[in-house]
Structure 1
């Protein structure tokens, strides 16, 4: 019997193709896998530098020139960075000066981190590049949140409350202020701008989902205020927040898988087409960092952001206690504007250059990263540190967030933008900032006990005079 024949009546011709077919299928699968690996590991033409290793002078020149005119303006603040660090240790009592210097120093450090992320993004496929740039751009925010969560609350500053406000403040700053300025910048030279339905529809839907997810612990806590003891209610709200945080992070990972695996062709077509029609293809290799230089820039920027974040957080108590700035304003407005400034400028520059899909992807991507990943990540970190970090926000913050998401979703619905819509977004953000400035701090710690005792004495006096 010939090899490959299973029975006496079997024909070798009939049975022979089966192993050949299987081999072809396995070979095709292997070829597809190798092609994907090559595509992932191959540096795109836009990311080629024409150099290798480290070249100090070109490195400094490229970093200073950055990726846009807006980034170059930000780089003028680099001398402030060593000054802020020096003043922090030379004259530690100059609290206001130190805070202002650290606040300004955060901007170029975050800009370097964003630029290094942008350079790395050019070296990988388009969709992965946008995600990489967005993730590294949000790293400043994650570092700042981690520094805040490690601080113990005192009688004047509730750092957990500052983090909660900063989470929503980052979402509002990106979604209203940055998007509004993108619409305005793009509308300077054009009647209106168009952007892809795939980008806007997925983004607005996820924004609404994120808003509803963040609202669950808040609604739970405030709807049961009169029915449960304060301690019991707070513990339940924290437990619900931790579960919600895990679910939101899962939603973000599904979104990443959707963009990079199952539907990456749609986004690749959008970004490749816009890149070909815009200024992205005009950049030449002399203005690109090598992979080694990108790693050095990332390491240096992360270290500087961590140092400046520590200095900045150290002075929050001074702002709240001596300057009487509310926790809500510090978290909702000051912190997000400082750490998001460079990222916002990049998106605005893209909108000005009619790269609206790139700008919108960065705006929505950064917003979703904060709402679905960075914020929930801090809850998980707080859980590990034994801190009662939850997603139970103030009613004012949550209502403002949900209304902002609905407003932005309506602006994105028609896939068109103009300076009027941008102006309205900025005006709404300024109104929120004014309200946050006048928002009172919650009373906590020894002050709360003193206030409670004073209230009890007043009640006793009233009762005494009544009878």
Structure 2
């Protein structure tokens, strides 16, 4: 009598058995693998359909647009922190009204538009979350991270199209904002996630797959961003300044292309060849979140049409408010004597990353540390490997000298932050102490940025501009103008 056939392992799982080669039926010993063989058996059309089919967790049970339900779900948002942010929505029409009714009140306009950006970015992030629920886990995280970074991309695009003033170099503001965005996400947001995760438990754990890949890519991104700066500062005394800057910008453009290729490989790694690992990790995190299980039963979800509407409204508002905000940066620098470093390194990143920070902190509080870490590292990597190279290439197309040749201070704190965060991620555990240390490091950088002087502003022919050369006269004139404005 023949013996029954041995059971076949489930797709995407490898059975861990004894050394003799016999398989074990214990499900706890089944480990997820990347599922590449299974993925390769699918046709292109199958992959597209599986990636963009609305998932059960994202179904709303409705069709079309229901205005009252749309507003209620949008205001309810995804977390208590997001609901608090939605209280700032009245500032959006206020900022627009003041912009046209009182165009000379630059400080008021800047403050209102700065605060108005927060609910707009939050709406964009929430719409991204709703869209992410309608696609598979890995694709959802990438979609949510990408849409959350649209605020940053829009701000960069608005800044790169601005013409410099005698005292404000918008390229330098963008460069500071690039590194500031990375630091805000990597230190401030990650630190707050560690603190939030430590409220209810002694330690929070996360997967090695998420932390190791993220740490490695952070080091790679830091190395890539450092190359133009190291080149420029190592040859300061050997090449004429104009030629040195030109070569550094050429290197920046080449590096930008390579960084974007690296980001493309990372996305392919997550979504195609190793998606099984990340799917298993994210499913486990989802099962640990009681809040989301309750939400899944109630099904407070936007329809696909409502998601598109929310995205269109949010992107439009973010673009419009960004234009108002950027238009009045020169007032802070010229009349309030706020340094380019503080504007770019601290002020802009805090508002552009608000939605992603709130999402990640809420996930960490709900013991979804893998989700939180994926959002933090994903947003950081998108800035370093995609958004920063993108603005370099756009500047290239516009004929702007946009490069990755940063200030030594900015680059030094970036590399030190990457090393610090990498050490915290090494043991796959976090606690409130590590979170507090990350936040304190970020505050120290912010304090240094307040006192950091503006770099010398060079004209197109490499000579010092009148605003930089006549610092004393400009300072006196600026002080007089500020006093008159007050």
Task: Name the counterpart of 2:478.
Answer: none
Whole-angstrom CA distance in 1 between matches of 2:288 and 2:77? 21
Matching of residue 280 in structure 1 with residue 292 in structure 2: yes
Aligned pairs for 1:12-411 (under 5 A) are: 33=44, 35-278=46-289, 279-284=291-296, 286-411=299-424
Task: Name the counterpart of 1:447.
Answer: 467
1:96-149 residue CA offsets vs partner (Å, 9 max, x unmatched): 111110000000000000000000000001000000000000000000000000
Q: Is the 8 A contact 2:395 2:402 kept in 1?
A: yes
Q: Is the 8 A contact 2:65 2:303 kept in 1?
A: yes
Matching of residue 430 in structure 1 with residue 443 in structure 2: yes
Q: Is the 8 A contact 1:46 1:281 kept in 2?
A: no
In structure 2, the gaps of 5 or more residues are 1-38, 458-464, 475-486
1:388-415 residue CA offsets vs partner (Å, 9 max, x unmatched): 0000000000010000000000000000
CA separation of 1:210 and 1:75: change in aligned 2, threshold 3 A: same
In structure 1, the gaps of 5 or more residues are 1-27, 455-467
1:284-308 residue CA offsets vs partner (Å, 9 max, x unmatched): 3541000000000000000000001
* SS of residue in 2 equivalent to 1:283: helix
Whole-angstrom CA distance in 2 between matches of 1:197 and 1:252? 20
1:271-330 residue CA offsets vs partner (Å, 9 max, x unmatched): 112112213332135410000000000000000000010010011000001100000000
How far apart are residue 176 of structure 1 and its match?
0.1
Whole-angstrom CA distance in 2 between matches of 1:286 and 1:262? 32
Whole-angstrom CA distance in 2 between matches of 1:61 and 1:122? 18
How far apart are residue 46 of structure 1 and its match?
1.2
Aligned residues: 427
Q: Is the 8 A contact 1:74 1:342 kept in 2?
A: no
CA separation of 1:33 and 1:219: change in aligned 2, threshold 3 A: closer
How far apart are residue 31 of structure 1 and its match?
6.3
Moved more, 443-452 or 364-373: 443-452
How far apart are residue 86 of structure 1 and its match?
0.4
TM-score normalised over the length of structure 1: 0.89
Whole-angstrom CA distance in 2 between matches of 1:266 and 1:378? 32
TM-score normalised over the length of structure 2: 0.86
How far apart are residue 30 of structure 1 and its match?
8.1
Q: Is the 8 A contact 2:177 2:349 kept in 1?
A: yes
Task: Name the counterpart of 2:5.
Answer: none
Whole-angstrom CA distance in 2 between matches of 1:434 and 1:169? 13
Whole-angstrom CA distance in 1 between matches of 2:40 and 2:155? 44
Q: Is the 8 A contact 2:85 2:118 kept in 1?
A: yes
Whole-angstrom CA distance in 2 between matches of 1:86 and 1:54? 29
1:358-416 residue CA offsets vs partner (Å, 9 max, x unmatched): 00000000000000000010000000000000000000000100000000000000000
1:42-84 residue CA offsets vs partner (Å, 9 max, x unmatched): 2111100000000000000000000111100000000000000
Query: Larger % of helix: which?
Result: 1
